[in-house]
């Protein structure tokens, strides 16, 4: 597979020459400065593409061309926004950037409660704690009937947490859940927003009355509208699974399991409608057997995120090492190498280690931690290629 790396543009402290030194072949990036919903011009795309190519790298994947909320909840600006999306896709296609990752998660993209969960060896990784999340939902957001979504023991622990939490604790949690993890992925809330909770609640309100069926309809509408452009320019759309893969905050989520993925591929049956196979997101649900899903959907996969999690007995989950955990990444590399050796993959998130600590990288996107994981995956790939060449597998 092609070794790619998520790079956040010319302002990223991790530079393209650094990536060349560690064996990266392709870049995964976006025009992060263009506000969501606005057209990506051909000129702006070519400018970034040429910059990347000047370092002997290629722009392999767009992550993400963001889908605006009004497309997801079918607001009145929906058709205009889809038209803009089509123009951006056509411009990408003309520029030769033909793999586009996106998600259809309402309001909030990926969710973690702790961005620096300590390991015994001094490194840290990202973590999701159910009690902290329930505390955020019930006592900080004060979402109507939120406690119905948690078992009584969790509600009780969240209540106790609320009794002792200071304002600073609450702000730190808000920062982790809806600010720090969202801003840099072109999410709805950024560091500049003074009242993130107020804004977040307004966004949640936009989805009143939108259930799983309705959200599916809206996704189908969006995909059917853009497919002709994808066909004309050879662009492959790859949806990112919901992270974690379940309903949250009363919002529907529709890419959580085998049935959802099968629905998506069937609803718009077109080779350009495919998947970002994110092993990390899928592995955070006990209902998912990740290698089974990979084997089943490999031919519809256009892009792979290699990351693994472990689910703890209390339902919390931790981002674990790339050679362990429920992601079964070794088996996945075996499946995808056989299916399509030129498929782009990136190591998705790494631990914070060594010099990463003081660099204020985006959460999950450390340098040494990801480099370490990339080296591990590189070794796995080399072994598997060798097995394939010797006809052992």
Question: Binding to ligand DNO by residue 256, rule CB under 6 A?
Answer: no
The three-state DSSP-derived secondary structure of the chain is CEEEEECCCCCCCCCHHHHHHCCCCEEEECCCCCCCCCCCCHHHHHHHHHHHHCCCCEEEEEECCCCCHHHHCCCCCHHHHHHHHHHHHHHHHHHCCCEEEECCCCCCCCCCCEEEEECCCCCEEEEECHHHHHHHHHHHCCCCCHHHHCCHHHHHHHHHHHHHCCHHHHHHHHHHHHHHCCHHHCCCCCCCCCCHHHHHHHHHHCCCCCCHHHHHHHHHHHHHHHHHHHHHHCCEEEECCCCCCCCECCECCCCCCHHHHHHHHHHCCCCCEEEEEEHHHHHCCCCCCHHHHHHHHHHHEEEEEECEEEECCCCCEEEECCCCCCCCHHHHHHHHHHHCCCCEEEECCCCECHHHHHCCCCCCCCCHHHHHHHHHHHHHHHHHHHHHHCCCC
* Catalytic annotation present for 305: yes
Question: Binding to ligand DNO by residue 69, rule CB under 6 A?
Answer: no
* Catalytic annotation present for 101: no
**73, 85, 361, 365: which one is catalytic?**
365
**In angstroms, rounded to a whole number, what is the distance separating the alpha carbons of residues 204 and 73?**
11
Tokens at 49, concatenated: 């593409």
Cβ count within 10 A of residue 357 = 15
Least Å from the CB of residue 224 to ligand DNO: 20
Question: Binding to ligand DNO by residue 336, rule CB under 6 A?
Answer: no
Contact string (CB under 6 A) for ligand DNO, positions 208-247, x = contact: --------------------------------x-------
Least Å from the CB of residue 244 to ligand DNO: 12
Least Å from the CB of residue 334 to ligand DNO: 23
Contact of 13 with 361, CB cutoff 8 Å: yes
Contact of 365 with 6, CB cutoff 8 Å: yes
* Catalytic annotation present for 348: yes
* Catalytic annotation present for 349: yes
- Cα distances (Å, whole numbers) of residue 193 to 12, 96, 161, 183, 280: 22, 36, 26, 10, 29
* Catalytic annotation present for 287: no
Question: Binding to ligand DNO by residue 272, rule CB under 6 A?
Answer: no
**117, 272, 302, 305: which one is catalytic?**
305
Least Å from the CB of residue 82 to ligand DNO: 17
Least Å from the CB of residue 113 to ligand DNO: 15
Tokens at 332, concatenated: 């996945």
**Contacting residue, 109, 114, 260, 337, with ligand DNO by CB under 6 A:** 109
**Contacting residue, 103, 218, 283, 376, with ligand DNO by CB under 6 A:** 103
Least Å from the CB of residue 364 to ligand DNO: 5
**73, 322, 349, 361: which one is catalytic?**
349
Least Å from the CB of residue 12 to ligand DNO: 14
Least Å from the CB of residue 126 to ligand DNO: 9
Site for ligand DNO in 184-203 (CB under 6 A): 185
**Contacting residue, 101, 219, 275, 318, with ligand DNO by CB under 6 A:** 101
**278, 322, 361, 368: which one is catalytic?**
278
**78, 117, 129, 240: which one is catalytic?**
240
**12, 129, 348, 356: which one is catalytic?**
348
Question: Binding to ligand DNO by residue 364, rule CB under 6 A?
Answer: yes
Of residues 260 and 348, the one with the C-beta less far from ligand DNO: 348
**Contacting residue, 134, 348, 352, 380, with ligand DNO by CB under 6 A:** 348
* Catalytic annotation present for 238: no
Q: How many residues bind ligand DNO (CB under 6 A)?
A: 11
Site for ligand DNO in 8-67 (CB under 6 A): 63-64
Binding site for ligand DNO (CB under 6 A): 63-64, 101-103, 109-110, 185, 240, 348, 364
Positions marked catalytic? 240, 278, 305, 348-349, 365
């Amino acid at each position: 597979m092609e070794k790619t790396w998520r790079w956040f543009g010319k302002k990223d402290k991790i530079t393209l020459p650094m990536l060349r030194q560690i064996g990266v072949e392709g870049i995964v990036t976006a025009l992060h400065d263009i506000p969501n919903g606005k057209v990506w011009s051909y000129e702006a795309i070519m400018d970034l593409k040429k910059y990347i190519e000047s370092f002997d790298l290629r722009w392999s994947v767009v992550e993400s061309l963001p889908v605006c909320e009004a497309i997801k909840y079918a607001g009145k600006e929906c058709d205009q926004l889809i038209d803009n999306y089509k123009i951006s896709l056509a411009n990408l296609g003309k520029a030769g950037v033909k793999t586009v990752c996106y998600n259809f998660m309402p309001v909030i993209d990926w969710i973690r409660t702790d961005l620096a969960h300590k390991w015994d060896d001094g490194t840290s990784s990202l973590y999701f704690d159910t009690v902290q999340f329930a505390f955020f939902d019930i006592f900080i957001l004060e979402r109507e009937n939120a406690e119905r979504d948690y078992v009584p023991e969790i509600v009780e622990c969240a209540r106790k947490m609320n009794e002792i939490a200071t304002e600073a604790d609450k702000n730190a949690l808000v920062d982790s859940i809806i600010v720090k993890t969202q801003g840099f992925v072109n999410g709805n809330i950024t560091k500049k927003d003074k009242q993130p909770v107020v804004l977040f609640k307004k966004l949640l309100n936009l989805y009143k009355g939108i259930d799983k069926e309705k959200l599916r309809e809206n996704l189908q509408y969006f995909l059917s509208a853009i497919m002709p452009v994808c066909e004309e320019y050879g662009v492959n759309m790859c949806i990112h699974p919901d992270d974690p893969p379940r309903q949250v905050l009363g919002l529907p989520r529709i890419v959580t399991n085998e049935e959802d993925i099968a629905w998506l591929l069937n609803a718009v049956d077109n080779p350009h409608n495919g998947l970002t196979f994110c092993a990390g997101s899928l592995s955070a649900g006990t209902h998912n057997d990740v290698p089974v899903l990979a084997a089943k959907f490999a031919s519809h996969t256009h892009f792979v995120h290699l990351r693994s999690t472990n689910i703890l007995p209390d339902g919390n989950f931790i981002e674990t090492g790339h050679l362990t955990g429920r992601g079964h990444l070794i088996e996945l590399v075996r499946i995808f190498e056989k299916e399509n050796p030129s498929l782009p993959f990136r190591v998705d998130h790494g631990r914070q280690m060594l010099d990463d600590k003081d660099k204020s990288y985006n959460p999950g996107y450390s340098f040494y931690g990801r480099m370490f994981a990339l080296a591990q995956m590189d070794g796995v790939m080399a072994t598997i290629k060798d097995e394939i060449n010797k006809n052992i597998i």
